[in-house]
């Protein structure tokens, strides 16, 4: 499944540290009234796709967040609450009944019905459509029939219409977090107007997607340039405070940063790394941070026997001073990680890695030598993602604290790194990142550490762990599920299959022309909260 939005990070520009003097243009944060007739501009990269089931990167997701309204969204505790859904219920976590709120219409006037959801999901799951978000539907009964080159069926047997505003979803096995999952954009509905025939999407749909959200398209998608949306007045939910939004495409974050400084762009969701040290003075209180779900770690391929002893991995972990690296390399824009799941999740506990997460060079060296760790450690990373600085810093710390040779080794792209890992070529330790799709512990434990996890490239496998995660997702109540997940996480602390390094934050900036800029856990600007300062 999904290491997803970190892909956007690989677009970080060449790190030209110019060391420019501070600009010193202070802003006037949240004061003054707002102008409901103004439009605001937000930086995005060129989206790859704008079909909900094919959109898996941040830029597309940001645009869709304006055009569509999700079934559920997440509250301050990151628990789901209904938005376009009236209720999402299940007696057994297997058969889910979704009731839609009345009054939602698509931007072309069509009323939103349960069929619009069923059609959209079937389209997304049907393998020949090649949709990037298809895996979101794999828990639904009948998903397998839509796979392969010549699928047996065009529709999933688990989706049943009850009436115009109600439908049921039968899963192949109980899944407690299904409701949480529904917040993802793959679960948006598609209007009849999107299809030229049942199950066949019009080519033109993607150029001007019709949704049921707070904003509608203004014109079409202007590739490499911008996407304009304007307020949809018939939207029954929370009304946006601005008239429209211009999503402006930038290839380099540094260009967007210059535009924010010049008040030429309103919101920059990610401050480029090379500007991190200047940004607080450049932007004043318009430089902001908020929690985000990204998780950076070092992984040990199991085919490399040099690291097969857990004590070796623990010793390496103990020899890394995370606080120092987040401070000096990331200027506090990321937080040290000592657990295996992100702090934004319900069920997160601090320091689950225990002693292995604490910096202790003397103990680390003793443990490393006792466990017979290798005399040379290689840390592989992708050279296009701005990782060199922290990898070098980590290598230096390990060299000093363990007394062995440590080198960083760059592969051109993440894809090249993965190819090497898959071919079991010696890569040493390699870096990985993860951003969640929806806020549950299972979205970390399943894909990253389960035997069949989609991003478990390193091959970690522990039957006990798999069993606990499975029991957790089949649990009756959330509390029960979280208890199981936490037991599973405790196993990770013993086995140490990966070394947690850092949790990310949204580090964003905005112009003096907007206020109330909020960002969610998925690196998206909250489009109904943002206001234009007047």
> Looking at beta carbons only, is 54 or 114 nearer to other proteins?
54
Task: State in angstroms the smallest separation of the CB of 84 from other proteins.
Answer: 26
Task: State in angstroms the smallest separation of the CB of 104 from other proteins.
Answer: 29
**What phi, psi does 82 have (nearest 5°)?**
-75, 140
> Looking at beta carbons only, is 128 or 372 nearer to other proteins?
128
> Looking at beta carbons only, is 53 or 326 nearer to other proteins?
53
Question: Considering only residues 68, 215, 390, 414, which one is a binding residue for other proteins as defined by CB under 8 A?
Answer: 414
Determine, following the binding rule CB under 8 A, whether residue 281 of this chain makes contact with other proteins: no
Determine, following the binding rule CB under 8 A, whether residue 19 of this chain makes contact with other proteins: no
Q: Please work out the total of residues on this chain that contact other proteins, with binding judged by CB under 8 A.
A: 62
**What phi, psi does 213 have (nearest 5°)?**
-95, -175
Beta-carbon contacts of residue 75 (< 8 Å; ≥ 6 apart): 81
Determine, following the binding rule CB under 8 A, whether residue 49 of this chain makes contact with other proteins: yes
User: Partners of 215 in the beta sheet?
Assistant: 231
> Looking at beta carbons only, is 48 or 108 nearer to other proteins?
48
Task: State in angstroms the smallest separation of the CB of 180 from other proteins.
Answer: 20
Beta-carbon contacts of residue 220 (< 8 Å; ≥ 6 apart): 207, 208
3-state secondary structure of 396: helix
> Looking at beta carbons only, is 231 or 387 nearer to other proteins?
387
- Positions in 424-483 near other proteins (CB under 8 A): 432-433, 447, 454-455
DSSP for residue 159: E
> Looking at beta carbons only, is 62 or 401 nearer to other proteins?
62
* 307 within 8 A of 374, measured Cβ to Cβ: yes
Rounded CA separation 271/287 (Å): 9
Residues 349-388, one symbol each (x = binds other proteins by CB under 8 A, - = not), give -----------------------------------x----
3-state secondary structure of 42: strand
Determine, following the binding rule CB under 8 A, whether residue 418 of this chain makes contact with other proteins: yes
Question: Considering only residues 14, 75, 77, 350, which one is a binding residue for other proteins as defined by CB under 8 A?
Answer: 14
Question: Considering only residues 140, 249, 337, 525, which one is a binding residue for other proteins as defined by CB under 8 A?
Answer: 249
Beta-carbon contacts of residue 362 (< 8 Å; ≥ 6 apart): none
Rounded CA separation 338/501 (Å): 7
Determine, following the binding rule CB under 8 A, whether residue 48 of this chain makes contact with other proteins: yes
Q: In angstroms, what CA-CA distances link 20 with 171, 252, 259, 277? A: 56, 18, 16, 10
> Looking at beta carbons only, is 147 or 166 nearer to other proteins?
147
> Looking at beta carbons only, is 177 or 282 nearer to other proteins?
282
User: Partners of 163 in the beta sheet?
Assistant: 166
Structure tokens at 358: 């604490």
> Looking at beta carbons only, is 249 or 378 nearer to other proteins?
249
- The strand pair at 429-434 and 376-382 is best described as parallel
> Looking at beta carbons only, is 437 or 531 nearer to other proteins?
437
Nearest C-alpha neighbor of 56 from the set 2, 126, 111, 120? 2
Question: Considering only residues 74, 104, 188, 250, which one is a binding residue for other proteins as defined by CB under 8 A?
Answer: 250
Question: Considering only residues 6, 112, 279, 298, which one is a binding residue for other proteins as defined by CB under 8 A?
Answer: 6
Rounded CA separation 514/4 (Å): 29
Question: Considering only residues 27, 40, 42, 57, which one is a binding residue for other proteins as defined by CB under 8 A?
Answer: 57
> Looking at beta carbons only, is 285 or 422 nearer to other proteins?
422
Determine, following the binding rule CB under 8 A, whether residue 233 of this chain makes contact with other proteins: no
Beta-carbon contacts of residue 226 (< 8 Å; ≥ 6 apart): 246, 247, 248, 249
**What phi, psi does 7 have (nearest 5°)?**
-55, -40
DSSP for residue 445: I
The gap from C-alpha 361 to its chain's centroid, in whole angstroms, comes to 33
Rounded CA separation 498/355 (Å): 15
**What phi, psi does 331 have (nearest 5°)?**
50, 40
Determine, following the binding rule CB under 8 A, whether residue 334 of this chain makes contact with other proteins: no
- Positions in 97-156 near other proteins (CB under 8 A): 127-132, 134-135, 147, 149
Which residues are at the interface with other proteins (CB under 8 A)? 1-8, 10-11, 13-14, 16, 18, 20, 23, 46, 48-49, 56-57, 127-132, 134-135, 147, 149, 222-226, 248-252, 254-256, 258-259, 261-262, 264, 384, 412-416, 418-419, 432-433, 447, 454-455
């Amino acid at each position: 499944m999904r290491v997803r939005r970190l892909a956007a990070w690989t677009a970080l520009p060449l790190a030209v540290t110019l060391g420019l003097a501070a600009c010193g243009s202070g802003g006037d944060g949240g004061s003054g009234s707002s102008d409901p007739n103004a439009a605001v501009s937000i930086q995005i990269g060129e989206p790859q796709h704008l079909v909900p089931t094919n959109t898996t990167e941040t830029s597309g997701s940001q645009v869709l967040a304006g055009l569509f309204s999700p079934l559920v969204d997440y509250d301050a505790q990151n628990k789901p609450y209904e938005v376009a859904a009236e209720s999402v219920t299940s007696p057994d976590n297997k058969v889910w009944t979704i009731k839609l709120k009345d009054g939602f219409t698509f931007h072309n006037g069509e009323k939103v019905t349960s069929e619009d959801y069923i059609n959209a999901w079937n389209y997304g799951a049907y393998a020949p459509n090649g949709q990037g978000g298809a895996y979101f539907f794999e828990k639904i009964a009948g998903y397998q029939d839509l796979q392969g080159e010549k699928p047996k069926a065009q529709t999933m047997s688990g989706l049943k219409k009850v009436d115009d505003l109600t439908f049921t979803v039968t899963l192949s096995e109980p899944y407690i977090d299904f409701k949480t999952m529904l917040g993802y954009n793959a679960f948006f509905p598609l209007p009849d107007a999107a299809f030229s025939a049942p199950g066949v999407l019009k080519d033109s749909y993607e150029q001007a997607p019709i949704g049921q959200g707070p904003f509608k398209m203004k014109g079409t998608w202007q590739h490499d340039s911008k996407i304009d949306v304007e307020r949809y007045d018939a939207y029954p939910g929370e009304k946006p405070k601005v008239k429209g939004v211009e999503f402006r495409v930038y290839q380099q974050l540094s260009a967007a940063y210059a535009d924010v400084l010049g008040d030429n762009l309103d919101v920059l969701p990610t401050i480029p790394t090379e500007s991190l040290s200047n940004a607080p003075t450049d932007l004043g209180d318009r430089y902001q941070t908020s929690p985000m779900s990204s998780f950076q770690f070092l992984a040990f391929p199991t085919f490399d026997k040099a690291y097969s002893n857990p004590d070796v991995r623990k010793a390496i972990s103990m020899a890394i001073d995370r606080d120092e690296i987040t401070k000096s390399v990331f200027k506090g824009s990321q937080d040290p990680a000592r657990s295996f799941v992100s702090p934004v999740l319900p069920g997160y506990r601090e320091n689950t890695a225990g002693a292995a997460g604490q910096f202790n060079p003397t103990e680390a060296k003793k443990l490393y030598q006792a466990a017979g760790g290798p005399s040379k450690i290689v840390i592989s990373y992708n050279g296009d993602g701005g990782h060199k600085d922290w990898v070098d810093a980590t290598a230096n710390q390990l060299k000093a604290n363990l007394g062995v040779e440590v080198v960083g080794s760059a592969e051109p792209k993440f894809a090249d790194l993965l190819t090497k890992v898959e071919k079991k070529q010696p890569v040493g330790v390699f870096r990985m990142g993860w951003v969640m799709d929806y806020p549950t512990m299972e979205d970390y434990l399943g894909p990253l550490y389960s035997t069949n996890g989609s991003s478990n490239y390193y091959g970690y496998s522990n039957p006990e762990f798999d069993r606990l995660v499975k029991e957790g997702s089949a649990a009756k109540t959330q509390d029960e599920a979280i208890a199981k997940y936490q037991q599973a996480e405790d196993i990770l602390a013993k086995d140490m299959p990966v070394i947690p390094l850092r949790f990310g934050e949204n580090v964003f900036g905005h112009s003096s022309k907007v206020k109330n800029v909020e960002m969610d856990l998925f690196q998206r600007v909250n489009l109904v909260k943002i206001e234009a300062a007047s």
